[in-house]
């Protein structure tokens, strides 16, 4: 089974599905259709029913119930795009069997090394089989590991009808990495009472809290004149941009925060004297603090504008998603089922807030409560990404166990 799973995962990650935040189409890149169409064929081949793909590449399929009592319909969701933060083209996975706990040379020519001295989580997987990059691309375990796990779990349940379960729906989405994965997801058509995204990291992760999230684009208009005659006339937009950067809390940035601590993340800056732009993402688990962060940016912009005869600073804020906690807590048994499934399999649940977001955060507010479960990968969105094969296998077992436990629990209640 292990080689079958490895082959399936590699067949996914070697297809380039990078999404594009500048595109207005869904999916945002035409190449996402290549994996989407493959997945439709594969779902049909393994025996799934009601396999559909819509005009925006959203895939849904059904595994019918094999019990004679009523069980809530549960769902499993993953996304097939990869992050535009780092290239996902020409992925060349490397298989590291029986990892010895030492440095892994990803690319000798470019001296790119995956080291436990820097990425200490590697030591959790001594003796296991790792799949890494060749150092020049991301791997795509986010979230092709999740897709592999869902497809493989459905295949296993089909091949083992002695495992009893209710109706299961699976859904695969485009464009999650650019915040649009759930935008055109038809919750009513999906028809599940609740679902789980398989989109977490380390084995054991179980998450039902996530950041409130917004994007901020700040455009600064300056005035350019010859520098030799600039006194009293030039307005350098780059310097105003620097003023905005320095006006924000200097330690509330991703690399200096953890847990439920929020941040401002400056991820793009472009500048010339006449015009500069800053692009931020704003994150906080606490809704009031989240709103306060947006208000601070607005106050900084207003303060700067008040010093000029025109408004050099334009701030555009856009909320992206909210903390799913308020939608999941009223149906907390869906977290408890996943926790029990892990414990039954000897996996220690790691219940913690997500320092990010998943399709599940938006889906929860669309009426589909949707906690997040580990997919197994580490160091997403970059050249040091890797996933232990054993973690993928464990995630498959968790999906199967959740389906089995749900059917058993509702039989007792009938």
Distance CA 294, CA 414 (A): 49
- Name the active-site residue from 16, 18, 42, 81: 81
81 included as an active-site residue: yes
- Name the active-site residue from 143, 149, 175, 176: 176
| Catalytically active residues, by annotation | 81, 176
């Amino acid at each position: 089974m292990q080689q079958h799973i490895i082959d399936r995962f590699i067949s996914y990650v070697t297809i380039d599905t990078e999404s594009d935040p500048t595109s207005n189409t869904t999916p945002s890149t035409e190449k996402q259709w290549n994996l989407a169409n493959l997945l439709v064929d594969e779902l049909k081949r393994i025996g799934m029913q009601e396999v559909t793909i819509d005009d925006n590449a959203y895939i849904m399929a059904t595994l019918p119930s094999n019990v004679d009592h009523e069980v809530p319909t549960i769902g499993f969701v993953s996304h097939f795009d990869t992050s535009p933060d780092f290239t996902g083209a020409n992925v060349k996975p490397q298989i590291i069997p029986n990892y010895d706990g030492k440095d892994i040379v990803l690319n000798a020519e470019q001296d790119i090394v995956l080291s436990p001295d820097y990425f200490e989580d590697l030591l959790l997987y001594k003796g296991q089989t790792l799949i890494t990059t060749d150092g020049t691309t991301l791997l795509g375990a986010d979230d092709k590991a999740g897709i592999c796990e869902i497809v493989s779990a459905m295949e296993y349940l089909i091949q083992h009808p002695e495992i009893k379960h209710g109706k299961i729906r699976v859904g695969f989405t485009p464009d999650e990495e650019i915040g649009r994965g759930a935008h055109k997801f038809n919750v009513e058509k999906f028809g599940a009472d609740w679902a789980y995204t398989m989109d977490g990291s380390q084995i054991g992760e179980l998450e039902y809290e996530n950041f409130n999230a917004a994007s901020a684009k700040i455009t600064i208009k300056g005035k350019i004149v010859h520098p030799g005659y600039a006194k009293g006339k030039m307005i350098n937009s780059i310097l105003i941009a620097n003023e905005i950067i320095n006006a924000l809390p200097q330690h509330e940035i991703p690399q200096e925060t953890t847990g439920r601590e929020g941040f401002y993340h400056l991820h793009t800056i472009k500048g010339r004297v006449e015009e500069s732009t800053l692009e931020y993402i704003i994150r906080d688990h606490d809704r009031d603090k989240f709103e306060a962060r947006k208000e601070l940016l607005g106050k900084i912009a207003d303060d700067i504008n008040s010093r000029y005869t025109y408004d050099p600073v334009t701030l555009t804020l856009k909320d992206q998603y909210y903390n799913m906690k308020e939608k999941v807590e009223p149906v907390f048994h869906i977290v408890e089922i996943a926790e029990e499934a892990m414990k039954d399999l000897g996996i220690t649940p790691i219940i913690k807030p997500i320092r990010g977001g998943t399709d599940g955060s938006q889906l929860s507010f669309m009426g589909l409560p949707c906690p997040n479960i580990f997919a197994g990968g580490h160091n997403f969105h970059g050249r040091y990404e890797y996933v232990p094969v054993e973690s993928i296998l464990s995630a498959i077992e968790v999906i199967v166990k959740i389906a089995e436990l749900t059917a058993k629990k509702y039989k007792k209640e009938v």
